[in-house]
Chains A and B, each alone.
Chain A
Amino acid sequence: MKNQSLLLSALKADRGGQVLLGLLAIAAVAVPVFNLLVPESSFFHLSTYTVTLFGKYLCYGLLAIAVDLVWGYCGILSLGHTAFFALGGYAIGMYLMRQIGPRGVYGDPILPDFMVFLNWKELPWFWEGMNHFPVAMLMVVLVPGLLALGFGWLAFRSRVTGVYLSIMTQALTFALLLAFFRNEMGFGGNNGLTDFKELLGFDLKTPGMRVALFITTVIALAVGYIGCRYVIASRLGRVVQAVRDAEGRTRFIGYKVESYKLWIWVFSAALAGIAGALYVPQVGIINPGEFAPINSIEVVIWVAVGGRGTLYGAVAGAVLVNYAKTWFTAAFPEIWLYALGALFVGATLFLPKGVVGLIPARKVKTA
């Protein structure tokens, strides 16, 4: 009861969060209506492509929240969060691969196509059980969580902080990138996992399923947001913010800084894994490219552009930057990297509070 009131009071004070949750609720209602009910010929029809595109953005939004939680509230700049994202994606990808069954190119009822192609005779042990949806869901959270637990336990216990930690996380995702490129790993090597057919028996390609995935993403983002708000409002969150502001002082007061950091780190990694699991069925492929260090750095820039340490700013940044990316790469493909680079420099130099930092400032002026 006390916890509930804690969350409610936190949400009441959070104007940006209210706007975000309101927008998500509107999207959850409006998107199915404009996509499925409005006829295709109508001007108001929302194409399935757009639905999937925004579904993708919202997955990125969830990933950005995960990064903001550790960076904005705990001061850990992770340059390897897409490693957790991609691991979650691979977990659901394995489930989706198993669902293909005998409909693959080689028609093997058990082995995915790439294993038949590599002349493997039986399923590797870690693929066992991945044909069950609950197992796959568990792995989506468990694998990134355990990796984060192991890495964080080592790193925080020996007090690796700041830039060193950032570089370590980057090395982590780089090592995973190299490892997943190897065919021997059993995850499809260079090509990754793709050619998915259905999820829980529903064909992934139908507009209805696309909308369902979109709504699932919206719900996950909303729940993730509220969850993060709750964590931040809780004791864990408050200690973590103290760690961000003065780690040494918090330690001297008597808090076990390492464990607080570790738990928020693991929570964030699991959140990133869930984002990856929602992302893969919508884009239809997961390959080692997702581990690339540059992707992780891009996530950080979404958070920086949107406004670090606000959560809703992270979502806004993810959607804005990715919308810009989609638009630029279609309209001016050469300029995109200039724009992204300028965004990095500009956001850090001129927008320390991000885009959402501009809004209250204006309100103060009018008031």
Chain B
Amino acid sequence: MIHLMASTRRCLLAALIAASLPLHAQEPAAETTAEASAEVVPAAPTTFPDVLRALGGASLSERSALLDALLAAKHPNTAAVLKAWLDDHLHVRDADGAVFITAETDAGNESTFGLTDPVTLAASGPEPAEGFSKVGSNNSLRKLLRSALASFTLGSPDADVRLGAVKEMLRAPDEATLAMLRERRATETDAAVQSAIDAGLAYADLTSDKADTRLAAVKVLSGSLAGETIAKLEALRDAANEPDERVRSAASVAISSISFKRTLYSSIETLFFGLSLGSVLVLAAIGLAITFGVMGVINMAHGELMMIGAYTAYVVQLLMPNQLAASILISIPAAFVVSGLVGIAIERGVVKHLYGRPLETLLATFGISLILQQVVRSIFSPLNRSVATPEFMSGQWVINDALSLTRNRIYIVLFTLVVFAALQLILRRTSLGLNVRAVSQNRAMARSMGINSDRVDAITFGLGSGIAGVAGVALSQLTNVGPNLGQSYIIDSFMVVVFGGVGNLWGTLIGGMTLGVAGKLLEPAVGAVMAKIAMLVFIILFIQRRKQGLFPQKGRAAEGH
């Protein structure tokens, strides 16, 4: 063992020496060539083509000087060259020393190059890669290249590109880049880029020698929201790092102001997550609020109607795989129709015969839910399917450093409000809605006024079921679609309806949102499962106190329930 270690150590030593030797040998050699070239070409190249040509033959150490010359030439193609250089796509043709921007002719094939002349940007035909050598770079050169490239992109008309450039430059700021940023700040119009530059400049100023500069920087930073800022300011509160009392106290003030704002934004974020969770609950429950709340029918297959809506979205997407956005928009009415028809079939086939026997209805519709689950398992297999999210719904909406919201959740909240408004309009402003309310309040009276209560029942049930289907489309954007999708929502939906007050759509909306927000507020303290249990226990206890829910029905309508 010891022998082995000793021998390994010896080998390592030998390798180290061997590696260091060529280094020592090379440096003088590089110097001599530089001297030699200086003798041959008295003036350094200044024009863009000349510099490029010189670049091909230059050693690594000469290239940084040539890079300065290249930038000084201010040629429009400089950025393209720098980019190619950075990406190892700048090659010199061994035969004549001409420099080209290269690209592999087709993916993965590195044996031939497609050539682009950097001066004219004209493409010339593919040539075998063997005749070229790479214009290489090392770490320090790449750093220079990156910041040079960033300063070029700083002039880009696209604000996002500029923002990226600013961030790139601030990764390793030096005097030159800071100067460049100051210059840019004067003409910058985009707010995000402005604040990024301000923050970067202020970070740099924090290490300034002058206390006034540091103080000014702290004041600028107190408007920032990034977590990084707090860490930097925290260092300034320490007397060992910061001699000036004013700067120290300003840093403390700035930290408290920043953390206050961050807490504020994070509670806004929690609130938003709560609202989005609540929206899902409301979407799931609102169809039930129609069938259970208005008609008084316990539909345990409600969750499965949602599942059918989600599968409709899946099928529509299978039919038109290349138009994601359109397929989602189409699947909303499609799911409404499919789930609505299934709902009407359930009402006509089973529920109709069980009016006035709520417990039996509960059992029969539960049986239907089992059958529907098994039908879906037989058709689509028991495996979960995923429905793709279209471009405009994916990603995040970044508001500032402390607050960003997921797009699909924003759409879910909006969608819920739209569905709710549409439902209210149907119930309050159409003759169908009038009939539905009439039958739900007093069936016998409505019938004697000439309302076909059978038809109204079927349509109401279909409406509630259709809404369930639409909710299923929304759910397909949040989770995977599977045969058990509905089951996981059925208890929650009933809770929401009962909590909000049966027969009251506003109650469902407010009840669902309240439960969502309260759940999210509890979650950090006790964990997701305990939060859920707490909500269930809360509702059980709440119903004991106010068994009519948050918004009880008043007057004659209440008597039927």
Smallest distance from the beta carbon of B266 to chain A beta carbons, Å? 27
The complex places the Cα of A364 from the Cα of B530 at a distance, in Å, of 57
User: Which residues in A have their C-beta under 8 angstroms from that of B539?
Assistant: 171
User: Which residues in B have their C-beta under 8 angstroms from that of A160?
Assistant: 543-544, 547
Nearest A residue to B300 via CB reads A297
Whether B371 pairs with A301 at a CB distance below 8 angstroms is no
A163's partner among B298, B367, B369 (CB-CB below 8 A) is: B298
Nearest A residue to B357 via CB reads A348
Whether A164 pairs with B547 at a CB distance below 8 angstroms is yes
Stretch at the interface among B63-71, B176-184, B490-498, B517-525: B490-498
Restricting to B230-262, which residues have a CB under 8 Å from any CB of A? Answer: none
CB of B374 closer than 8 Å to a CB of A: yes
Whether A175 pairs with B536 at a CB distance below 8 angstroms is yes
CB of A338 closer than 8 Å to a CB of B: yes
Whether A166 pairs with B362 at a CB distance below 8 angstroms is yes
CB of A314 closer than 8 Å to a CB of B: no
Whether A163 pairs with B547 at a CB distance below 8 angstroms is no
B544's partner among A77, A155, A334, A338 (CB-CB below 8 A) is: A155
The complex places the Cα of A174 from the Cα of B378 at a distance, in Å, of 28
CB of B326 closer than 8 Å to a CB of A: no
Whether A345 pairs with B364 at a CB distance below 8 angstroms is yes
CB of B425 closer than 8 Å to a CB of A: no
Q: What string of 1s and 0s marks CB contacts (under 8 Å) between B322-365 and chain A?
A: 00000000000000000000000000001001100011111110
Q: What string of 1s and 0s marks CB contacts (under 8 Å) between A331-349 and chain B?
A: 0001001101111110111
Whether A337 pairs with B371 at a CB distance below 8 angstroms is yes
Nearest B residue to A175 via CB reads B536
User: Which residues in A have their C-beta under 8 angstroms from that of B368?
Assistant: 341, 344-345
Whether B536 pairs with A174 at a CB distance below 8 angstroms is yes
The complex places the Cα of A300 from the Cα of B367 at a distance, in Å, of 12
User: Which residues in B have their C-beta under 8 angstroms from that of A340?
Assistant: 367, 370
Q: What string of 1s and 0s marks CB contacts (under 8 Å) between A306-327 and chain B?
A: 0000000000000000000000
User: Which residues in A have their C-beta under 8 angstroms from that of B491?
Assistant: 167, 170-171, 174, 293
B547's partner among A158, A334, A343 (CB-CB below 8 A) is: A158
Whether A334 pairs with B378 at a CB distance below 8 angstroms is yes
CB of B38 closer than 8 Å to a CB of A: no
Restricting to A145-160, which residues have a CB under 8 Å from any CB of B? Answer: 151, 154-155, 157-160
Q: What string of 1s and 0s marks CB contacts (under 8 Å) between B208-244 and chain A?
A: 0000000000000000000000000000000000000
The complex places the Cα of A353 from the Cα of B370 at a distance, in Å, of 22
User: Which residues in A have their C-beta under 8 angstroms from that of B359?
Assistant: 77, 162-163, 166
CB of A181 closer than 8 Å to a CB of B: yes
User: Which residues in B have their C-beta under 8 angstroms from that of A162?
Assistant: 358-359
Smallest distance from the beta carbon of B423 to chain A beta carbons, Å? 22
CB of A178 closer than 8 Å to a CB of B: yes
Q: How many residues of B contact A (CB 8 A)?
A: 40
Nearest A residue to B529 via CB reads A178
CB of B405 closer than 8 Å to a CB of A: no
CB of A172 closer than 8 Å to a CB of B: yes
The complex places the Cα of A333 from the Cα of B279 at a distance, in Å, of 37
Q: What string of 1s and 0s marks CB contacts (under 8 Å) between A164-197 and chain B?
A: 1011101110110011011000000000000000
Smallest distance from the beta carbon of A196 to chain B beta carbons, Å? 27
User: Which residues in A have their C-beta under 8 angstroms from that of B529?
Assistant: 178-179, 181-182
User: Which residues in A have their C-beta under 8 angstroms from that of B298?
Assistant: 163
The complex places the Cα of A230 from the Cα of B538 at a distance, in Å, of 37
User: Which residues in A have their C-beta under 8 angstroms from that of B366?
Assistant: 297, 344
The complex places the Cα of A129 from the Cα of B530 at a distance, in Å, of 28
The complex places the Cα of A158 from the Cα of B358 at a distance, in Å, of 20
The complex places the Cα of A46 from the Cα of B487 at a distance, in Å, of 40
When A344-B363, A344-B366, A344-B370 are in contact, do A178 and B532 touch as well, CB less than 8 Å?
Answer: yes
Whether B533 pairs with A179 at a CB distance below 8 angstroms is yes
Restricting to B95-151, which residues have a CB under 8 Å from any CB of A? Answer: none
CB of B268 closer than 8 Å to a CB of A: no
Whether A348 pairs with B363 at a CB distance below 8 angstroms is yes
The complex places the Cα of A163 from the Cα of B544 at a distance, in Å, of 14
**Interface secondary structure of A, over-half rule:** helix
CB of B78 closer than 8 Å to a CB of A: no
A337's partner among B364, B370, B530 (CB-CB below 8 A) is: B370
Smallest distance from the beta carbon of B512 to chain A beta carbons, Å? 16
The complex places the Cα of A174 from the Cα of B535 at a distance, in Å, of 11
Smallest distance from the beta carbon of B391 to chain A beta carbons, Å? 37
CB of A239 closer than 8 Å to a CB of B: no
The complex places the Cα of A167 from the Cα of B373 at a distance, in Å, of 21
The complex places the Cα of A171 from the Cα of B359 at a distance, in Å, of 16
Whether B541 pairs with A344 at a CB distance below 8 angstroms is no
Whether A164 pairs with B498 at a CB distance below 8 angstroms is yes
The complex places the Cα of A162 from the Cα of B545 at a distance, in Å, of 16
The complex places the Cα of A352 from the Cα of B353 at a distance, in Å, of 12
Smallest distance from the beta carbon of B289 to chain A beta carbons, Å? 14
Whether A172 pairs with B367 at a CB distance below 8 angstroms is no
User: Which residues in A have their C-beta under 8 angstroms from that of B498?
Assistant: 164, 167
Nearest B residue to A345 via CB reads B367
Smallest distance from the beta carbon of A180 to chain B beta carbons, Å? 10
Smallest distance from the beta carbon of A150 to chain B beta carbons, Å? 10
User: Which residues in A have their C-beta under 8 angstroms from that of B378?
Assistant: 334
Whether A164 pairs with B371 at a CB distance below 8 angstroms is no
CB of A211 closer than 8 Å to a CB of B: no
Whether B543 pairs with A168 at a CB distance below 8 angstroms is yes
Whether A342 pairs with B371 at a CB distance below 8 angstroms is yes
Smallest distance from the beta carbon of B488 to chain A beta carbons, Å? 10
Q: What string of 1s and 0s marks CB contacts (under 8 Å) between B410-426 and chain A?
A: 00000000000000000
Nearest B residue to A154 via CB reads B544
Nearest A residue to B483 via CB reads A337
CB of A304 closer than 8 Å to a CB of B: yes
The complex places the Cα of A179 from the Cα of B360 at a distance, in Å, of 30
The complex places the Cα of A168 from the Cα of B497 at a distance, in Å, of 12
Whether A349 pairs with B363 at a CB distance below 8 angstroms is no
User: Which residues in B have their C-beta under 8 angstroms from that of A172?
Assistant: 536, 540
A158's partner among B360, B361, B545 (CB-CB below 8 A) is: B545
Nearest B residue to A160 via CB reads B547
Restricting to B150-186, which residues have a CB under 8 Å from any CB of A? Answer: none
Smallest distance from the beta carbon of B430 to chain A beta carbons, Å? 29
Whether A341 pairs with B367 at a CB distance below 8 angstroms is yes
CB of B537 closer than 8 Å to a CB of A: yes
User: Which residues in B have their C-beta under 8 angstroms from that of A167?
Assistant: 491, 494-495, 498
The complex places the Cα of A181 from the Cα of B369 at a distance, in Å, of 25
Nearest A residue to B535 via CB reads A175
The complex places the Cα of A300 from the Cα of B366 at a distance, in Å, of 11
The complex places the Cα of A344 from the Cα of B360 at a distance, in Å, of 9
User: Which residues in A have their C-beta under 8 angstroms from that of B532?
Assistant: 175, 178
User: Which residues in B have their C-beta under 8 angstroms from that of A293?
Assistant: 491
The complex places the Cα of A246 from the Cα of B300 at a distance, in Å, of 26
The complex places the Cα of A179 from the Cα of B529 at a distance, in Å, of 8
User: Which residues in B have their C-beta under 8 angstroms from that of A157?
Assistant: 544
Whether B370 pairs with A341 at a CB distance below 8 angstroms is yes
Whether B533 pairs with A163 at a CB distance below 8 angstroms is no
Smallest distance from the beta carbon of A333 to chain B beta carbons, Å? 11
Smallest distance from the beta carbon of A331 to chain B beta carbons, Å? 16
Q: What string of 1s and 0s marks CB contacts (under 8 Å) between B362-405 and chain A?
A: 11101111110110011000000000000000000000000000
The complex places the Cα of A162 from the Cα of B292 at a distance, in Å, of 13
User: Which residues in A have their C-beta under 8 angstroms from that of B536?
Assistant: 171-172, 174-175, 178
Nearest B residue to A179 via CB reads B533
The 3 closest A-B CB pairs, nearest first, are A344-B367, A341-B371, A341-B370
Contacts from B to A (Cβ < 8 Å)? 298, 300, 350, 353-354, 358-364, 366-371, 373-374, 377-378, 487, 491, 494-495, 498, 529-530, 532-533, 536-537, 539-541, 543-545, 547
Report 24 cross-chain contacts, Cβ distance below 8 Å, ordered by A residue: A151-B540, A158-B543, A158-B545, A163-B298, A163-B362, A164-B547, A167-B494, A171-B491, A171-B494, A171-B495, A175-B532, A175-B533, A178-B532, A181-B529, A301-B363, A334-B377, A334-B378, A338-B370, A338-B371, A341-B367, A341-B370, A344-B370, A345-B364, A345-B368
7 additional A-B pairs beyond A172-B540, A181-B529, beta carbons within 8 Å, are A154-B544, A163-B362, A171-B495, A338-B371, A341-B368, A345-B364, A345-B371
